[in-house]
């Protein structure tokens, strides 16, 4: 059996086990997802009020509404919370127990990521559906399936990109005792540059060149922009190409740093 097939089988079983375990906290998922959509809804109301008051913005009410209604879903679907936990396992020597097992420790974190997102979707989708219905007259809803398919592909690529960035940051723990500052710094920078706080279209004009091509845009903002309807055909293709490029680059760098760390790893039982 090839390593890939074995890891996929392990991933399927571990994801099922994680779902069974995490299902105990059904009430917690509802609370988490309420918190997840609260800030986008508040931001939506603020920007709609600004537009209604005559504010001159480079985006219209339809774009603002579509953007913030989808924002909670996209941020959840592309999120990763692995860096701190993986760094702790490396620092405390827990990685040693996985080095003699047939599957990588990373499979565990992938399974946890998938299982939690599936459970969160159960709670989040109805909430977003209600918000969507309330603001349906101001929403941009693509008529054909093509745009939705690109949206789904972009979300998948964004999730992989965020996950590989987490691996890269956590792998620094092979050489540093504490990477919590790096984890926090990444979270703060990503919240601004991904478009989670403010749509990137509202960033200052002098920053647009950098903002458009930096990697964090392709973790949140770009998938939302596909549905919001602000991208032309060539811009969509170029954006997906850049997104794929970032996935390949960060995956390659994260893999190289991870393997280098494994070779230098020294802990009890290693």
3-state secondary structure 124-172: HHHHHHHHHHHCHHHCCCCCCHHHHHHHHHHHHHHHHHHHHHHHHHHHH
Please list, in sequence order, all residues whose beta carbon lies within 8 angstroms of the beta carbon of residue 103, skipping any fewer than 6 positions away.
6, 7, 10
Burial annotation 231-267 (CB, 10 A radius, 16+ → b, else e): beeeebeebbebbbebbeebbeebeebbeebbeeeee
What is residue 23's predicted lDDT score, i.e. its pLDDT? 80
pLDDT attached to residue 1: 54
C-beta contacts of 151-157 below 8 A and 24+ residues apart: 151/223, 151/226, 151/227, 153/240, 154/218, 154/222, 154/223, 154/226, 154/239, 154/240, 154/243, 155/74, 155/77, 155/78, 155/223, 157/218, 157/240, 157/243, 157/244, 157/247
Residue 164 and residue 247 in contact, taking contact as beta carbons nearer than 8 Å: yes
pLDDT tens string, the chain, 270 residues long: the values are 577 777 788 888 888 888 888 887 777 778 888 888 899 999 999 999 999 888 888 888 999 999 999 999 999 999 998 898 899 888 888 887 777 776 777 888 899 899 999 988 888 999 999 999 999 888 888 767 888 899 999 999 999 999 999 999 999 999 988 899 999 999 999 999 999 999 999 998 888 889 999 999 999 999 999 998 778 888 999 999 999 999 999 999 999 999 999 888 876 544
Which structure tokens are listed for 234? 């060539």
């Amino acid at each position: 059996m090839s390593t890939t097939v074995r890891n996929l089988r392990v991933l399927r079983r571990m994801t099922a086990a994680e779902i069974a375990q995490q299902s105990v906290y059904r009430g917690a998922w509802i609370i988490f997802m309420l918190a997840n959509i609260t800030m986008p809804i508040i931001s939506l109301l603020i920007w709609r009020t600004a537009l209604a008051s005559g504010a001159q913005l480079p985006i219209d009410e339809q774009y603002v509404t579509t953007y913030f209604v989808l924002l909670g879903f996209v941020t959840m679907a592309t999120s990763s919370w692995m860096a701190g936990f993986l760094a702790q396992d490396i620092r405390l020597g827990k990685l040693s127990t996985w080095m003699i097992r047939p599957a990588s420790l990373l499979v565990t974190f992938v399974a946890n990521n998938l299982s939690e997102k599936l459970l969160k979707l159960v709670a989040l989708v109805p909430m977003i559906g209600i918000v969507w219905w309330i603001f349906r007259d101001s929403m941009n809803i693509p008529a054909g399936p093509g745009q939705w398919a690109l949206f789904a592909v972009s979300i998948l690529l964004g999730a992989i990109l965020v996950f590989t960035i987490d691996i890269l940051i956590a792998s620094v723990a092979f050489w540093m005792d504490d990477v919590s500052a790096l984890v926090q710094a990444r979270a703060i920078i990503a919240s601004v540059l991904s478009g989670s706080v403010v749509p990137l279209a509202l960033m200052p004009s002098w920053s647009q060149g950098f903002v458009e091509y930096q990697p964090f845009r392709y973790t949140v903002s770009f998938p939302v922009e596909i549905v919001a309807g602000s991208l032309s055909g060539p811009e969509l293709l170029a954006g997906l190409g850049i997104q794929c490029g970032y996935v390949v680059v960060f995956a390659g760098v994260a893999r190289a740093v991870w393997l280098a760390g494994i070779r230098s790893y020294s802990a009890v039982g290693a």
